[in-house]
Amino acid sequence: MKSSLAHSPQRIAVIGLGVIGGSLGLAIKHYRPEIHVVGFDTGTVMDRARKRGAIDSAAKTLKHAVERADIVFLCTPISTILSLLPRVARFIQPHAVVTDVGSVKGIIQARAKKLFTSKGAFIGGHPMAGSEGSGIEYADALLFQNAVYVLCLENGKNPAVKTLAALVRSIGARVMVMNANEHDRIAATISHLPQLLAVTMMNLAGQKNRSNPEFLQLAAGGFRDITRIASSPFPMWKDILRYNRTQIASVVKEIASQLHVMENDVRLDKPAHLLRKFRSAKSLRDAIPKNSKGFLHPLHDIYVWVNDTPGALSRITTALFRAGINIHDIELLKIREGEVGTFRFSFDSAEDARAAKRTLLKTFKLKLQ
């Protein structure tokens, strides 16, 4: 039986309070403060989540977390989601909507189809947003702003999708509805393959660096940007690579074939072939919406040269804080003790980067790029 809420959700359960689960809690409390958010995770994680304002209450058991919830979010690794589904199906209310945030949808959707038949409705979900960090400390109430949030339906006719979609839109995301298997095929190309390419490129440079340390010393600019996601922890990817292995293996084979063609074009000096590829890539890349976020959402950098004096970095970050500009990442690139240091400041948008430049130029006599 397919169920849906006849009213706005009053109580939401978030199972798993890492980056995504914690960010969901923070976003819901920010945009929908009237909703009570109950969390379930380990005790120490729930304590930190409550201190950050991501949850209103902490559940002692899974049953306690979901039995009164209108919507249940499963925000754990895929293997854990699969093990939680039958337990959640037993405990939920008849009208409840259950969803997940896993990066692979086909296997979860197939398992849920067998479980949510007499009560509740299951809708697979995948917010195309993330963080390089892990844990509740990296949760962000604005993580889903302009991010595509995929909802997966088998036939596109589940009425409960309206309830879930309305909530997702209320926290700033853009809803896209698609079939679970189609999602997995697309994700293999635009999300899972880039991760493997970044890991491969980084390891290749590391191997060459053993005989020549200048390889990694020069690994900046485009190389650093392309391989940024190589820092993603393997435990997060283990389940993705296992449960979407057929689609991933297929697209890896495709990219290997295209790289072989590219190799021939370069080795045989075929500039006309390469020109077509470059032009095609630019045209396609320029067509990607610039205001959308996803796993490959680029950061926007500015480089700041400052005198090596006590408190220099603090003065810069304080000025940006007072201007209401959020810093996504800071990296010390090099420093000459007692002379000058170079910092890379990363921002989520080009607008923030430009505002940061204006603020720092107005406040300090700094050199910026």
Is-contact 101 123, C-beta < 8 A?
A: no
Superfamily classification of domain 300-368: ACT domain (3.30.70.260)
Q: How far apart are CA 78 and CA 107, in angstroms?
A: 9
Is-same-fold flag (11-178; 300-368)?
no
Q: How far apart are CA 309 and CA 320, in angstroms?
A: 19
Instruction: Name the phi and psi angles at 121, rounded to 5.
Output: -135, 135
Coil, strand, or helix at residue 219? coil
Q: How far apart are CA 264 and CA 302, in angstroms?
A: 37
Closest CA to 24 of 58, 75, 59: 75
Domain at 183-287: CATH code: 1.10.3660.10
Given a cut of 60, is residue 50 above it in pLDDT? yes
pLDDT score for 35: 96
Is-contact 168 149, C-beta < 8 A?
A: yes
- Sequence ranges of the domains in the chain: 11-178, 183-287, 300-368
Is-contact 119 3, C-beta < 8 A?
A: yes
Q: How far apart are CA 190 and CA 89, in angstroms?
A: 32
> Which architecture, in CATH terms, is 11-178?
3-Layer(aba) Sandwich (3.40)
Which tens digits make up the pLDDT trace of 108-156?
999 999 999 888 999 999 998 876 667 898 888 888 888 889 999 876 5
This prediction has a pTM of: 0.74
Closest CA to 265 of 246, 253, 278, 254: 278
Given a cut of 50, is residue 295 above it in pLDDT? no
Is-contact 327 347, C-beta < 8 A?
A: yes
